[in-house]
A and B are shown apart, each in its own frame.
Chain A
Amino acid sequence: MQEAILAASDQGARDHVRGDNRLTAEDRIHIYARSYRQRLVECLESEYPLLAGLAGPTAFQLFAQGYIAAYPSRSYTLYDFGARFADWLDAARPPGNPQAVEAIPGALARIERTRAEVHRARGVEGAGPAWPGIDPAIAELLAMAGTRRFYRPDSMRLLALPFDFSEMLAGGEPIPPRPDPTLLAVARANYRVSCLPLEPWQYDWLVLLPDDPAQAVPADAAVANWLPFAVAQGLVASV
């Protein structure tokens, strides 16, 4: 029966399933086959709304159906289903120029998947202030001056992309990206997920920062001015 649903095939339907004058055995299997596909397409649409908007319904359906056939869900949760969509889109396009128009879907899908993961990742909300009772801004300054050490929370992910999607990300409208390489942090602060463009030195510093608090390193003097912003946006957390 699983094969019949996955492949929408009628083979042996009548041998196993009862039909009647309203619905044949095949009709009844098709109800399940249709809802199987529809559920997974809807899952991708809700996880990849910008890509769905930019690609339009016809192209997005093609992407989704190709992906569903290539990577049927193998997890107990639908949250895992879209995890390889960006990889699949990249593999499905003609190889070559990383800034070709065909490379846009994969790059955009990578941002949207990362946003979805960061939304559910272990974050730093509720960790509590390191200096209770002291104004947070002053506490942060104390931290900069002192021995405070920083690490990368799981709710912060780094992306290096061949396109600049900032217009689309700012307005949520499907505006095609510019072919400019971009460094992005997708981070969560107070349960809000944002995509923040990074300077190369900020990106490099974050890449080197460990994600294990026990391994945390002191802040470089060059990034000290930027740190209060980075902490407030959830890019880094302190031990």
Chain B
Amino acid sequence: MTQPRLGLPNPGDGLGLREEHFPHLMSTPPENWGVDWFEAITENLLDNHGWGMRVFEHVAAHRPVVFHGVSLSIGSTAPLDLAYLGKLRDLAERFRPLWISDHLCWTGVQGVNSHDLLPLPLTEAALAHVADRVRAVQDFLGRPLIVENPSTYLEFRASQMPEAEFLARLCERTGCGLLLDVNNVHVSSFNHALDPLEYLDAIPAEHVVQVHLAGPSDHGTHLIDTHDAPVPDAVWPLYAHVWQRCGPVATMVEWDANIPAFDVVAAELAKARRVREGLPLAA
């Protein structure tokens, strides 16, 4: 029987560390940050000996941190990038993040990186392939990999199972954890005319280690995962549902474009607590 959150801690409510907020964090005493933990983009830290690393050192000295990657390309047919993984392992030894996450996707083949989170055909063969690679990464890093569901804009004809089932079986086979991005469930469900609650109910609750919340952009025919807006109204009930099934679990708001002041993002994060307590969104 798997323990809740794979036995990993619940550090509370967190935010993504963004350059726009460096001045605020460096000039505000940590006790006034109003945020329990931070998520750093792995690729922003690798090879960085500048101000960004200095700020991260400061943040990591005062709060738990997690690493969130975008270049692992766990679904690719290209060999795993051992240079990348080696640097990631060194960084993890230095900062001891609570966990390391990346996405269920591929980013490129033949040496090219699209820097996008491209969807996989959800087939038995892909599942076996991804499971092998997740195990290899976990062996290399010496810790469970936390896998995030991406936003998707297309589905392959070849797919044989829903994404939630693919993730559930991946967890079962590898013991990996899940970063459940509730906004991505909303976006993908809208784009493919699926039921988000059905998706959430198919996710193995005890593997969910972290939750992402974010605001997409509405293009009429489809939603795009732009992280440039407040969390939409439709996502909060889904989050409440996730909390019922998987909580208490680390919750985080992602804001990556048109980034407002730190306090505005922190206020968005505070809404999560109100939702958990069954209070109206606005104070």
Contact of A88 with B by CB under 8 A: no
CB B102 to nearest CB in A, in angstroms, measures 11
Contact of B51 among A23, A154, A191 (CB under 8 A): A191
A76 near B84: Cβ-Cβ < 8 Å:
yes
Contact sample, A vs B, 22 pairs, CB 8 Å cutoff: A2-B114, A5-B118, A17-B154, A17-B156, A18-B155, A22-B221, A22-B222, A28-B153, A31-B153, A32-B114, A32-B153, A35-B224, A36-B115, A40-B115, A73-B114, A73-B115, A74-B112, A77-B47, A77-B71, A81-B115, A121-B50, A155-B50
Once the chains are docked, how many angstroms separate the CA of A138 from the CA of B108?
56
CB B273 to nearest CB in A, in angstroms, measures 32
Contact of A105 with B by CB under 8 A: no
B50 near A120: Cβ-Cβ < 8 Å:
yes
Residue in B closest to A116 when the chains form the complex, CB atoms: B50
Binary flags per residue of B187-222, CB closer than 8 Å to A gives 1, else 0: 000010100000000000000000000000000011
Once the chains are docked, how many angstroms separate the CA of A92 from the CA of B113?
24
Given A6-B114, A23-B221: A76 touches B81 (CB 8 Å cut-off): yes
Residue in B closest to A17 when the chains form the complex, CB atoms: B154
Contact of A79 among B47, B84, B191 (CB under 8 A): B47
B50 near A5: Cβ-Cβ < 8 Å:
no
Contact of A188 with B by CB under 8 A: yes
Contact of B161 with A by CB under 8 A: no
A18 near B113: Cβ-Cβ < 8 Å:
no
Cβ contacts under 8 Å, A121 to chain B: 49-50
B50 near A191: Cβ-Cβ < 8 Å:
yes
Question: How many A residues, CB 8 Å from partner?
Answer: 41
Cβ contacts under 8 Å, B51 to chain A: 119, 191
Question: How many B residues, CB 8 Å from partner?
Answer: 33
Cβ contacts under 8 Å, A119 to chain B: 50-51
Contact of A56 with B by CB under 8 A: no
Once the chains are docked, how many angstroms separate the CA of A136 from the CA of B46?
33
Contact of A39 with B by CB under 8 A: yes
Summed over the interface, the residue pairs from A and B with CB atoms below 8 Å come to a total of 100
A77 near B111: Cβ-Cβ < 8 Å:
no
Cβ contacts under 8 Å, B155 to chain A: 17-18
Cβ contacts under 8 Å, A74 to chain B: 111-113
Interface residues of A (CB under 8 A from B): 1-2, 5-6, 15-18, 20, 22-23, 25, 27-29, 31-32, 35-36, 39-40, 72-79, 81, 119-123, 125-126, 154-155, 188, 191
Contact of A16 among B43, B47, B118, B157 (CB under 8 A): B157
CB A59 to nearest CB in B, in angstroms, measures 24
Once the chains are docked, how many angstroms separate the CA of A25 from the CA of B54?
45
Contact of B158 with A by CB under 8 A: yes
Cβ contacts under 8 Å, B263 to chain A: none
Once the chains are docked, how many angstroms separate the CA of A32 from the CA of B150?
13
B residues 216-233 near A (Cβ < 8 Å) are 221-222, 224
Cβ contacts under 8 Å, B111 to chain A: 74
Cβ contacts under 8 Å, A126 to chain B: 54
Contact of B49 among A17, A29, A122 (CB under 8 A): A122
B residues 141-190 near A (Cβ < 8 Å) are 153-158
Once the chains are docked, how many angstroms separate the CA of A20 from the CA of B194?
13
